[in-house]
Structure 1
């Protein structure tokens, strides 16, 4: 009973695949998201430089921005080079800010000696600061300025 069903499905799948390929070819050439032909070169806009020094936070518990370049830092499943300076075991001798204690709590609130897996990828919350224009309009005002 199963063999005729599988044969019927495979007999229908091949013509459907061919029909899909024909439709895809007939829909026209591939277009670029950049708005120009794929072969055309596009001028790169201004490259914004990394700002040095710490920035003031705008609200309580705002993740601080990264005040240095991240271009040579490796962060993957096995390695997190941020911890070479910012882990509590190294921060004092390196003169770097220590990670918040919240980075050492697991999902259940258990205190750990190493960074929790949920806090391993620093750039989920922390971004390098740069002197670049806003990509999206923003009317945010810190709560301290509303008094």
Structure 2
């Protein structure tokens, strides 16, 4: 049986958890370390959604607003658009579903491996005491 742990999918490469209690999110040239899983998922969804919007050429923010600070005009970036926020929420939902599915598959593989090991052991014992 093939060992599936050696194969890394895109989600594994983008969302990893090293030995220390930190989640590392890497996607589309961005890299961020987060202490919580929810913050890591939020950042990953942000990177993915922003990249998708940039590819299509759709704005992710409302236009910049000129603001006076200390007698100098600076431009403050506008709020996220409704379309961006909806896409971000969908992306988080899909990422959570993908990770839940991966956990189910991993549990199934563990059950399969234990059952297969028992089967091979029993078969070897039967072959060893074969009377003919």
TM-score under structure 1 length normalisation = 0.19
When you count helix as a share of all residues, which structure comes out higher?
2
TM-score under structure 2 length normalisation = 0.20
Structure label with greater radius of gyration: 1
Greater relative contact order: 1 or 2 (C-alpha under 8 angstroms, separation 6 or more)? 1
When you count strand as a share of all residues, which structure comes out higher?
2
